[in-house]
Structure 1
């Protein structure tokens, strides 16, 4: 500075003017322009990174590196861009050179380590993290990531050691404690895992949640007696703690002390401050904990009945009882409760699904029709509900309505991916075959049936109905015979399928063969044989010249309630009318 000061005081000579003074030497114009271009390339690259266009970003960083091959920041950014596009192998050389240029830059370290982890080069990643932790105590937070890598590398003891170092430097951390617990449990060091649980309790002595967690840990490892102590400590902090009573109830139930178990649960259910939904969740939790013994099921059912009775306007309470009734095979009672739950709160898809399923299983067609219509008002995009509605209309012989609903179901299930939905799609097409036949659109009926048989060539519903309808139409009789033959080969004692096969043979004028199969159908269920089968049997006997026997069978068909258009004429005249 002394020199600069003396220059200022020197008189200026006009004929030889001194240059203007500056604290830094002037930068040449070319160098300034080059630096500006480099800064622009880097800035453009970062903009592309921010807009999630890593390929464009990489192009900018590559241009910059052509000008400045040793630019560590550009190498780091290029590695990031490559990693974003999934090119881990290509990214590593860039990240490595950036790191080697500035080993104290933690971001360069972390990126290289991340790339190594992606390649499962755990030992190299571990060394990088260890270096990072040694550089500064401020980096100790990265110990959590190092411990995770040790776990990937199947070095649980090193992971534990690292977690302990982090805890020592930064204090207790709930997530670290839980990770340590998991490691100890995997090593079957239950006492060590419990010690970690105790640390959390000591850290928050007024919080009963940690005591509950500890109790659950003990119960999961068959230390019920120790768990009781933890639960009692929790109840001292919060006497009405529902979960503590539920867990105690489960422990006592396992011990066979049902009186104590029931007392704990009664304490919960008698609490007027607990809303019904919470009680239902608690009961659900208890049912989940319980085994499937008859006593446990009965106990759960009684509690659910009490809950439903105490809260008749709570949908979840009714639903809980309905679910248990289904498990115990009491479908009719369950169906009524699902209907009540749906009336109280129709916003839950599962309620309607369960209700419609039971309507179907119980053959309650009128209910299925009404309930499916209500369900569709709330969930118009559910293919299952349109199927239920279509099925109900089909049973009611409302064929146009059935077609409309089933077609809507097929449209919504067009992109079915799960096995369950694919199975439902087959059922939809099978029903569409029946519905289109009902309105006389045989082309669409056959098309629907063929779609099912393409994926499921042994579908008995389709084989039966398709072959029977073809026989009634006297169309594609070879196809009909193939299908009905497959049916009776697989079901030699089914009266319905024997009758279908016999009728296909009848239409083909193979009367003797038809008689054989109809006699098998009658013999398969002499008392329960349908009027339709008996009428068919009479028709075959007539064709074979046994007119008296034919009339006898027609009369039996009439007694069974068969009332086809021609049956009375056949009986009155003793002749066959078709």
Structure 2
């Protein structure tokens, strides 16, 4: 599809070669006819010793090359595979590490060390399905190590083999007696199976046997809270508080219980106590704030959420993160002015966090502070040049300020630097460029930009609406405009701006009766009718011959336009002439 912008990716491909040289083998080490096997074995031993020397001296690439020569000469040398596995693990080549480690273990299945390396690789790769069989080997070799049994049970649980996991827990009990870790594992298994009663039973056993383990109290209280047994949860936490009076997790558990009871003030009091605790770090407290915002089932009152975010910033006055999180809280609570101040506080502490600049620019756009967006956008770009999102927001600052040439420059720059795979962002960019080009009377370019946006996302109601409206203003391709406007209203029903667009497209098509229906819908959907809606209402009424009603609407539109400093010349002419003027 023809694009309005030819996007140039400035990708510099640097092709280089890294040469790793294995030292040549002397003539004395070469094989002779009739003694190939013995010579290969001798050479493999010498090369293996050399590889260990290279590894110990930090020549890891050379050591890897040498070991590869060793296993070619002597494929049954398990120590070489073991060393290769460790080297591959070190350089992050997990696939090669898994292959080498497993080969070593297969060659010497009675080596606990080799199977341990295989497990290390599987943990790193998340190969849950392969873990139980490896753990069986480790249990065979070291049947008294209980950790192997626990890990097997947990791996089976993660693989959703719940009955096998429970059977492994029973094996632990039979061999080692009741160990607390298995109760935690069984509690998770029962929860996954939907057996809440059995899960509670495991934790109650643990609380009675290990009263000094705070985890059991907290998990048990959480379970009771989840099944609306708040009083039982409260009793458990009261018991925990005797042993752990200042434990923040107990305090947080009590906050959840009071929220479940609908006691907002008490919930806030316990959250506040937890936030004042030094035992909780800044990241944990930030996570609690975000989780509190996301809790739709038992939401905390906004007053308390903002008070917590204020306390958080007061607790860490010199941490940019604390102020940024506070800004995020206010943003989500639709308090953009407070959010803006928080982001500015964060940037006063640390100007080198790109995400905070992006958040600041977004709230300033929301507030219509376009000159601030321009200034802060330039400031951010001086620190993070060519960042597409910052270019995009800065462009929107100029667009909001009706400085269209500058907006075009920044939005085109954003497009040329955007990730080709980031379709939602590209869709927004093309939609915005459609707006800018239309404002600059670059109609062909505007049409292509909108078509690009819609081709990428046919459900983009914003692009569909704006494209349709501008086509209607130009009286161009009205059938396409009607199709798009109708679609935007289907995607976003009862939105006055989109309903007005459809009314105006129908007006340009001469279907005044249907246009009247849609403009009245738009006015009904609006909290307060804008001057544009009222003018269009009058225009449609005039075309239907209802002149007195049309003049009434035009006068209302004129009054509103005057109050916001808009041009009223055309409206005045309509009122004076008592007819529609194109």
TM-score range, shorter chain: 0.5 to 0.7
Cα RMSD of the aligned pairs, angstroms, is 5.8
Q: Which runs of 5+ in 2 are unaligned?
A: 1-33, 191-197, 225-231, 491-495
Alignment of 1:227 with 2:237, yes or no, is yes
Residues 526-555 of structure 1, C-alpha deviations (whole Å, 9 max, x = no match): 9756365378669979xx9x9999999988
Contact kept, 8 Å, 1:387 with 1:409, in 2: the verdict is yes
Task: Return the offset for 1:369.
Answer: 4.8
Task: Return the offset for 1:425.
Answer: 2.5
1:128 — aligned with what? 137
> SS at 1:415's partner residue?
coil
Contact kept, 8 Å, 2:274 with 2:280, in 1: the verdict is no
Task: Return the offset for 1:337.
Answer: 1.3
2:220 — aligned with what? 218
Contact kept, 8 Å, 2:85 with 2:101, in 1: the verdict is yes
TM-score, normalised relative to structure 2: 0.62
1:36 — aligned with what? 42
The structure-2 alpha-carbon separation of the partners of 1:560 and 1:179, relative to structure 1 and needing over 3 Å to count, comes to same
Larger radius of gyration: 1
1:156 — aligned with what? 165
C-alpha separation in 1, matches of 2:170 and 2:372: 65
Task: Return the offset for 1:219.
Answer: 1.1
1:407 — aligned with what? 412
C-alpha separation in 2, matches of 1:245 and 1:320: 22
Contact kept, 8 Å, 1:61 with 1:78, in 2: the verdict is no
The structure-2 alpha-carbon separation of the partners of 1:165 and 1:72, relative to structure 1 and needing over 3 Å to count, comes to farther
- Could you tell me which of 183, 186, 193 is aligned with 2:186? 183
- Could you tell me which of 69, 72, 80 is aligned with 1:62? 72
1:247 — aligned with what? 253
1:206 — aligned with what? none
Task: Return the offset for 1:274.
Answer: 9.8
C-alpha separation in 2, matches of 1:499 and 1:289: 41
With CA pairs under 8 Å and 6+ residues apart, which has the higher RCO, 1 or 2? 2
Contact kept, 8 Å, 2:519 with 2:536, in 1: the verdict is yes
Q: How does 1:148-547 map to 2 (within 5 A)?
A: 155-157=164-166, 159-160=168-169, 178=181, 180-187=183-190, 188-190=198-200, 192-193=202-203, 210-211=213-214, 213-222=215-224, 223-224=232-233, 225-235=235-245, 241-252=247-258, 254=260, 264=270, 281=286, 284=289, 287=292, 292=297, 296-297=300-301, 300-301=304-305, 303-304=307-308, 307=311, 331=334, 334-346=335-347, 347=350, 353-361=358-366, 363=368, 365=370, 368-369=373-374, 372=377, 376=381, 380=385, 382-417=387-422, 422-457=423-458, 459-470=460-471, 477=476, 479-488=477-486, 491=489, 494-503=499-508, 505=509, 513=510, 515-516=512-513, 519-520=516-517, 523-524=520-521, 525=523, 530=532, 533=536
The range that moved more, 157-166 or 546-555, is: 546-555
C-alpha separation in 1, matches of 2:454 and 2:516: 29
Residues 246-302 of structure 1, C-alpha deviations (whole Å, 9 max, x = no match): 43444455456677656655666788x8999699659738947977557x4167248
C-alpha separation in 2, matches of 1:567 and 1:405: 35
C-alpha separation in 1, matches of 2:274 and 2:317: 19
> SS at 2:399's partner residue?
helix
The range that moved more, 434-443 or 109-118, is: 109-118
The range that moved more, 446-455 or 80-89, is: 80-89
Contact kept, 8 Å, 2:138 with 2:148, in 1: the verdict is yes
> SS at 1:345's partner residue?
helix
Contact kept, 8 Å, 1:116 with 1:124, in 2: the verdict is no
Q: Which runs of 5+ in 1 are unaligned?
A: 1-28, 203-209, 506-512
C-alpha separation in 2, matches of 1:407 and 1:52: 48
C-alpha separation in 2, matches of 1:365 and 1:297: 32
The structure-2 alpha-carbon separation of the partners of 1:263 and 1:490, relative to structure 1 and needing over 3 Å to count, comes to closer
2:61 — aligned with what? 51
The structure-2 alpha-carbon separation of the partners of 1:289 and 1:464, relative to structure 1 and needing over 3 Å to count, comes to closer
1:563 — aligned with what? 567
C-alpha separation in 2, matches of 1:84 and 1:265: 43
C-alpha separation in 1, matches of 2:411 and 2:341: 27
The structure-2 alpha-carbon separation of the partners of 1:373 and 1:198, relative to structure 1 and needing over 3 Å to count, comes to farther
